[in-house]
Amino acid sequence: YLYKHLILFSPSVEEFGGSLNVQALVEFIDDGGNILAVASSSVGDVIRELANECGFEIDEEGSAVIDHLNYDVSDEGKHTTIVADPATLLDAPTVIGTKNIPPILFKGVGIVSDQENPLVLEVLTASSTAYSYSPDNKVTEYPHAVGKNTLLISALQARNNARVVFCGSLDFFSDKFFTSPVQKAHGGKRFETSGNKQLATALSQWVFKEKGVLRAQTIKHHRKGENSPPDAYTIMDDVVYSIEVEIFKDGKWETFDASDLQLEFVRIDPFVRTKLVKKGKKYVADFRVPDVYGVYQFKVDYNRVGYTHLYTTTQVSVRPLQHTQYERFILSAYPYYLSAFSMMLGVFLLSCVFLHHKDSPKAKAD
C-alpha cells in the first residue's frame, strides 16, 4: 500500500467506485491499515457493511439518537442535537485523552456493538435517557438502541493491531461543533466551546497510531553471574531475563513506564510467572528454572486497552543434570548409607565368628 491510514467522511455514499469496496477495506485492515469512518442519519450501504465486518451495527437509515432530557439549546426541536457527558467516555486515556473536557455535541445515528467481541471499544456511550429512532415518526416499536447500549463513537483494535474508529455523527468533526458553545436546554452550566475538538484530536492520534504503540527491544537472557545465553539451561539454574519496552510518543520512541509487565516461563503451561521490574531502561526478572526438563519459552504477553498488543517469545532448552553434576552424597540418603555399611559390618563380624570359632572335641566314651 502507498498509505497506512484511511479517512472515510462520506457516510451517505453507496459505492466508492473502482476497486475500492468493502472487501478491499477489510483486506486493508487485515494488512494492518487503520480507518477513521463516520456515519450519519443518511448512512449508505458501504459504511454499514464495513461496520458489520468490524463488529458494529448502525441503526436504520433516517434514524437518529434522540434524548429529550440532554439536548442542546441550539436544537431545532427534534432533540437530536444531544449533549454527551464526558464521564461516559471510555476509561482509557491513551484513546480519549482526558475526561476533563467540556460536554460533547453529537448529532447523528446510533451504533450497537457485538457484546461478545473482545476487540470492541465503546468509546462514547449515550445517556440512559437516549434512544435511536426516526425523529419524524412516532415510536410504535421498541427502538433499535436504547440507553447506554447506544454507542455514539466506537472503536476496534484488531489482533494484528490495526485500528478502526466509527463515529455516528459527521457533525461531530465539523468546525461548527468544534467552536459552538454548549448548554443543556433544561438548564445547566454554559460552556464557551464543546469538547469535540479535544476528543477528535485524541481519537485521530490514536487511530493513526501516533499514540499507544509499543515495541520490544534488546531481549537478553543468561545464567546469573554470566553475560551470554547458554546453548541450553540446566534444571534449577538461576536465570536473569531482561527486555526493553518502548512507546511511540510525540513522534519518537521513548522508554515505556509500566508496573504490570510480567514474564512467563512456559512449557505448554506456565511453570513460572513473575513480575518484570524496571531498572533504568530495562525490565528485569530473575528466577530459578523448574526441576522439569524440556523445551521452554520466555514469554512476554502485554495486552492493555488502548495499547498495541506486545507479544514476544524466546525458545530455550532445559536439560537434566549431567552425571558429574549430581551431589556425591545426598543428605536424605544418609540412613540408607548407614544401613548398607552396618549390614557390611555385620556380615564381616559374622564371617569372623563363623570362620574362627571351633567347637571343643568330645571325649571318646569307653
Query: What residues does each domain of the chain span?
Result: 5-207, 213-319
What's the confidence (pLDDT) of residue 365? 62
Q: How far is CA 106 from the centre of its chain?
A: 29
Nearest 5 degrees, angle CA 193-CA 149-CA 25? 80
Check if the beta carbon of residue 154 is closer than 8 Å to that of residue 88. Answer: no
What's the confidence (pLDDT) of residue 256? 92
Q: Which amino acid is at 50?
A: L
The DSSP H or E segment spanning 38 is strand 34-38
Cell, residue 70: 440532554
Q: Give whole-number Cα distances, 208 to 33, 35, 212, in Å.
A: 9, 8, 10
What's the confidence (pLDDT) of residue 364? 65
d(CA 278, CA 250): 22
- Cα dihedral: 22, 23, 29, 33 (round 10): -80
Q: What pTM does this model have? A: 0.82
**Helix axes 22-30 and 45-53, enclosed angle (nearest 10):** 30
Cell, residue 31: 494488512
CATH class belonging to 213-319: mainly beta
What's the confidence (pLDDT) of residue 36? 95
What's the confidence (pLDDT) of residue 363? 66
What's the confidence (pLDDT) of residue 243? 94
Mean pLDDT, consecutive 10-residue segments, the chain of 366 residues? 90 85 93 93 90 90 89 88 92 92 93 90 92 86 87 94 94 93 86 93 94 93 91 92 92 91 93 93 93 93 93 94 77 86 92 79 64
Q: Which of 217, 191, 200 is nearest to 283 (CA)?
A: 217
CB-based burial label for 300 (10 Å; 0-12, 13-18, 19+): buried
d(CA 184, CA 67): 11
User: Nearest 5°: phi and psi at 148?
Assistant: -75, -5
